Amino acid sequence: MVGRADGRFAIRLYGHLMGVDPKKVSTAANGGYAPKLGDVLYYAYHRGFWPLIRGQLFGWRLHACSGRFFIGRQARILFPSYLSVGRNVAIGDYVYMNCIGRRGVRLGDNVRIREFGWVQVTSHLTNPGEGLQIGANTYVGPHCILGAAGGISIGSDVTLGAYVQLLAENHGFADPNLPINEQGVTRGGIVIDDDCWLGNNTIVLDGIRVGPRAIVGAASVVTRDVPPGAVVAGNPARVIRMRVE
């Protein structure tokens, strides 16, 4: 049984380690359960200590680093001089990032890119991509693919579930007499506005804007713009109701 004082201390410590307001941590849907102090310390050691050491050793190579920076095991960041990070940014285990591009990659405060994420701005150095920008307090789930050649802008307080794909580029295919890989690409860019939630396995195609406070159901394929406050689902995704009138 966790004592009230110990529980409050554990919540404050956990909030400090996570870089968030302890009040926000303690108002979870589970009724404000207080973790054991030992569990918090165990979590901090395995999820924070070594990633923080790696981040501190690597941070000087970045274009800008505003505070605590965490890098997981076997994460690969190519062209780190094109990467700017805010405070308390975490890159998970086995993440791959190729950051070179016209605008590079910018990650706001408290951004999390979870394990096995894949970020690519440029595939060929002779045809550089645009870049990726992610706002503060945004969560990118495990195994997400962010192909940012046409430019991807993700707002603040956005949640991307596992295996979400944002694909800001298309192959040309108009000439049936040429191989597709010789017909070039088109790039329109993708915008995900503030306070959106994209469920697991969602795919967003090039040229799409998802409006603020919208929700995209799991396994949806988004082929047209999503209105602000809409809940969409399906393949292709369609509006099923509105959160905000």
- Report pTM: 0.90
Is residue 29 a part of any domain in this protein? no
Does the residue 180 lie in any domain?
A: yes
Specify the pLDDT at position 145: 98
Residues 6+ apart with CB under 8 A from 101: 82, 121, 122, 128, 129, 130, 131, 132, 148, 149
CATH number of the CATH domain containing 116: 2.160.10.10
Is residue 11 domain-shared with residue 84, that is, in the same domain? Answer: no
Q: What's residue 125's pLDDT?
A: 94
Q: Are residues 72 and 52 in the same domain?
A: no
Give pLDDT < 50 ranges for the chain: 1-2, 27
* pLDDT the model gives residue 155: 98
Query: Using CB atoms within 10 A of its CB, is residue 2 exposed (0-12), middle (13-18) or buried (19+)?
Result: middle
- Please report whether residue 30 resides in a domain: no
Q: Residue 53 to residues 11, 71, 74, 196: CA-CA distances in angstroms?
A: 23, 8, 14, 32
Rounded-to-integer distance, Cα 197 and Cα 37, Å: 31
Same domain, 117 and 11: no
Domain count, the chain: 2
117 alpha carbon, distance to own chain's centre:
8
Distance, in Å, from the CA atom of 188 to the CA atom of 197, rounded to the nearest integer, reads 22
Q: Which residues constitute the domain of residue 93?
A: 62-242
Q: What confidence score (pLDDT) does residue 244 get? A: 66
Tell me if residue 103 falls in helix, strand or coil.
Answer: coil
How many Å apart are CA 91 and CA 81, to the nearest integer?
A: 16
CB neighbours of 221 closer than 8 A, spacing ≥ 6?
A: 202, 203, 205, 234, 235, 236, 237
Question: Residue 234 CA to chain centroid, in angstroms?
Answer: 22
Lookup: tokens for 239:
């509006």
